[in-house]
Amino acid sequence: MISEKMKPMVENNSVIRVMFEEGKRLSALYGAENVYDFSLGNPNVPAPDAVKESILEVLDQEESTFVHGYMSNAGYEDVREAVAQSLNRRFGTDFGYQNILMTVGAASGLNVILKTILDPGDEVMVFAPFFLEYGNYVRNYDGKLVVVSPNTSDFQPNLQEFEEKITAKTRAVIINSPNNPTGVVYSSQTLHALANILREKEKALGREILLISDEPYRELAYDGVEVPYVTKYYGNSVVCYSYSKSLSLPGERIGYLVIPSQLKDSGDVTVAAAIANRVLGSVNAPSLMQRVIKRCIEKDVSVNLEAYDKNRNLLYQGLQECGFTCIKPEGAFYLFVKSPVEDEKEFCAKAQTHNLLLVPGSSFACPGYVRIAYCVSYGQIERSLPAFRALAQEYGLKSKGKPGLGK
Amino acid sequence: MISEKMKPMVENNSVIRVMFEEGKRLSALYGAENVYDFSLGNPNVPAPDAVKESILEVLDQEESTFVHGYMSNAGYEDVREAVAQSLNRRFGTDFGYQNILMTVGAASGLNVILKTILDPGDEVMVFAPFFLEYGNYVRNYDGKLVVVSPNTSDFQPNLQEFEEKITAKTRAVIINSPNNPTGVVYSSQTLHALANILREKEKALGREILLISDEPYRELAYDGVEVPYVTKYYGNSVVCYSYSKSLSLPGERIGYLVIPSQLKDSGDVTVAAAIANRVLGSVNAPSLMQRVIKRCIEKDVSVNLEAYDKNRNLLYQGLQECGFTCIKPEGAFYLFVKSPVEDEKEFCAKAQTHNLLLVPGSSFACPGYVRIAYCVSYGQIERSLPAFRALAQEYGLKSKGKPGLGK
């Protein structure tokens, strides 16, 4: 009954399910508070109070048939305008409602734009480490994923290899900053260089190449680090955004696409993307949540960054003290830690014996590293540190922490 | 920038937009209350009060990180179980939570199941008249749509032609009852005959053929007419459901797939469908609305059928009295009226001069008819009747109404 394209995914899925079942088994055995699950990017911080307030206001003040009804496939015009103006205020852009398409989260936004532009055989480039799901999205439209190998010195993209791998089949590049799984923010310098390469290649190949920026972590940036807005660097850009992380609404599936006017054939791309949104079955982004987003924008609601920042500092310092190696993340809620042994899956298995659930870097096309998602409670991080210490000792790691700072 | 597959859809879209703009133009010219827009299937009946009550209860009683968070790609288990038990109570089925997959409405459910099963070139059969979007869904996965021509005597499916058109490439059949655009309910006799043909063909061809039942109008059935549950007639069935019409929540994008255990490879199909839900970008059905659906089921909330029934009777009788020909619909909220001239687009254009906006049957692969969506206010139907009368007189139609019943 199952299509040839889906069969390998079904086979592969059972591996993930085994991991999930293992977490449940450990929790049953040792108690949930003694299992340190760092595997999921599910925000532990509750949605801001303004979300609930806004839901109540919408239900009280707006008509039921309007709030729960169909609207344009691109979303309510007033919501799109509010999103555009919010971007303009924050990033000095010049968008109007016609540049915004409300989507069922960023995953759906990525599917919408890929369906809009990809012909079979078109190549889409990504920089390792990357969210492996991009490959599935690209294959949905018979595109071919081309992976640029990781630059493990600072996890900025490897632009030399990128330039070399662009071909006459290249149609798009997906970037993700702040990055899952490294927490790295692509710098202004990086984006300038990336845009220059793309512009030169476009001219040389006589073909547009779309820069797709997947930005669910945009607001999760620490120490005042700026996350540059890609449309200001390169005209043929599309931004995929989600409120999953910034408003802790991952289950609600609400986000948007930005399709700037400078984009080649922008008007047609906008029409095509709205159609793709429809025919892929989303039809439109969930209506009540669209209305809520507008009010949250008006209230200038922002993510509870402090909670994640506290987690980041505690975990980063704790891991340093244990002797683990990783760069300090500037954004998102992940630490990407070097495995003390080459086979990081072996390391993950060893971690599991200490009730630590980590994700191997090969799940992000970057073996030799593991991802630790710190969107958990502060208490879980505190309780997990002795387990990390015991794990480090098994590998004979030496503390890198400053004396006196450790507990 | 636009893919070859999307280009014709973009070109075609402008035609629909012209119609939409025409409606806006007429409203500006004559006042919205004097334009009788019967073109859209957007419920005019507000969501039942229980929806708002349930939203408030969920927000008050359940944890924010749970209500708005990620869950299994198939949905919350307790919600799926509530859906299963509700079906079992009402239709004598035997489903458990594992047979239910929560989806972003029925359109997404159809995409999910088609992605799960279709290989390129596989044929999917539909009975005209049908919702043309099915063709787009099938082409998303490089399937081929095979259309069985309409049986205009009673708009039950043309089973003889159906049987003849099944080939070794046939993978699925989509049915839709109560039907958009005819309002016809497929009878138990029809489903028995359909199932028998499918079983025989499966045996003869050595190949499973999936019956996909698209049922957003299930609860919209009048005069106590029973809408038979397809899984009781044929094991290789999947049901696509949406709360768009029954709870007036079309914008919220909430529905489910039923994947019965009798289905061949049911377990694998369930896993594959959850993956398809994920990789198509939905990830999961909107979380708050899932929680709300569970409570609405517990409260035994049902659609405001009376409002639609009143509309149906007023409009059907009014059209009869004008001399138009149509069968009385048993379900949904559409009347499918025979055009007094062969070219129903010409008829629609003439109707528009009376400020009546109708949809040509060729938009449902059934030229010679027009669809009138009566999910509008009772007042709009009342106000529109003189316009229908004037339109009928232009074609010299004679009243079929009983004397004394007309106004």
- Chain B CA closest to residue A53: B59
pLDDT digits (tens, 9 = 90+) for A148-201: 999 999 999 999 999 999 999 999 999 999 999 999 999 999 999 999 999 999
Q: What is the spatial distance between Cα B330 and Cα A170, in angstroms, rounded to a whole number?
A: 53
pLDDT digits (tens, 9 = 90+) for B251-298: 999 999 999 999 999 999 999 999 999 999 999 999 999 999 999 999
In this predicted structure, which of A41-50, A136-145, A228-237, B278-287 has the lowest mean pLDDT?
A41-50
Reported as a pLDDT band with limits 50, 70 and 90, residue A407 is very low
Q: In what helix (H) or strand (E) does residue B288 lie, and over which residues does it extend?
A: helix B287-298
The encoded tokens of residue A148 equal: 């640029």
Q: Which of A369, A371, A342 has its CA nearest to residue A358?
A: A371
**Rounded mean pLDDT, B300-305:** 90
ipTM score here? 0.95
Q: Inter-chain contact B275–A9, Cβ cutoff 8 Å?
A: yes
Q: Which residues contact B169 (CB under 8 A, 6 or more apart)?
A: B121, B122, B123, B144
Q: Bigger pLDDT: B178 or A303?
A: B178
Between A10, A249, A280, which is nearest B272 by CB?
A10
Q: What is the spatial distance between Cα B219 and Cα B254, in angstroms, rounded to a whole number?
A: 16
Between A1, A2, A286, which is nearest B252 by CB?
A286
CA distance B51 to chain A (A): 10
**Rounded mean pLDDT, B96-109:** 98
- Chain B CA closest to residue A140: B280
Q: Which residues contact A171 (CB under 8 A, 6 or more apart)?
A: A117, A118, A119, A122, A123, A124, A143, A207, A209, A210
User: Is residue A105 within 8 Å of residue A242, measured between CB atoms?
Assistant: yes
**Rounded mean pLDDT, B349-357:** 94
- Chain A CA closest to residue B268: A10
CA distance A164 to chain B (A): 23
CA distance A357 to chain B (A): 18
One-letter-per-residue 3-state SS of A104-154: CHHHHHHHHHHHHHCCCCCEEEEECCCCCHHHHHHHHCCCEEEEECCCCCC
The proportion of chain B whose per-residue pLDDT surpasses 90, expressed as a percent, equals: 88
B104 to chain A: which residues are within 8 Å by CB?
Answer: 104, 253, 281-283
Between A46, A116, A282, which is nearest B104 by CB?
A282
Q: Inter-chain contact B286–A9, Cβ cutoff 8 Å?
A: no
CA distance A401 to chain B (A): 34
The encoded tokens of residue B183 equal: 């309002």
User: Is residue B211 within 8 Å of residue B172, measured between CB atoms?
Assistant: yes
Q: Bigger pLDDT: A258 or B18?
A: A258
Q: Inter-chain contact B68–A47, Cβ cutoff 8 Å?
A: yes
Q: Which of B2, B1, B238 has its CA nearest to residue B115?
A: B238
A145 to chain B: which residues are within 8 Å by CB?
Answer: none
Q: Inter-chain contact B279–A137, Cβ cutoff 8 Å?
A: yes
B3 to chain A: which residues are within 8 Å by CB?
Answer: 115-119, 141, 272
* Statement: residue A263 has pLDDT above 50: yes
pLDDT at A265: 95
Average pLDDT over all residues of chain B: 94
CA distance A347 to chain B (A): 27
Q: What is the CA angle A168-A169-A171, rounded to 5?
A: 110
Which one of B13, B68, B110 would you mutate to disrupt binding with A, by most A Cβ within 10 Å of its Cβ? B68
Q: What is the spatial distance between Cα B232 and Cα B235, in angstroms, rounded to a whole number?
A: 7
Q: Inter-chain contact A68–B249, Cβ cutoff 8 Å?
A: yes
User: Is residue B177 within 8 Å of residue B184, measured between CB atoms?
Assistant: yes
pLDDT at B17: 67
The encoded tokens of residue B177 equal: 């009852």
Reported as a pLDDT band with limits 50, 70 and 90, residue B176 is very high
Q: Inter-chain contact B282–A107, Cβ cutoff 8 Å?
A: yes
Q: In what helix (H) or strand (E) does residue B237 lie, and over which residues does it extend?
A: strand B237-242
Instruction: Enumerate the H helices of A123-253 as residue ranges.
Output: 133-140, 159-165, 188-205
Q: Inter-chain contact A68–B51, Cβ cutoff 8 Å?
A: yes
CA distance A270 to chain B (A): 10
DSSP B357: E
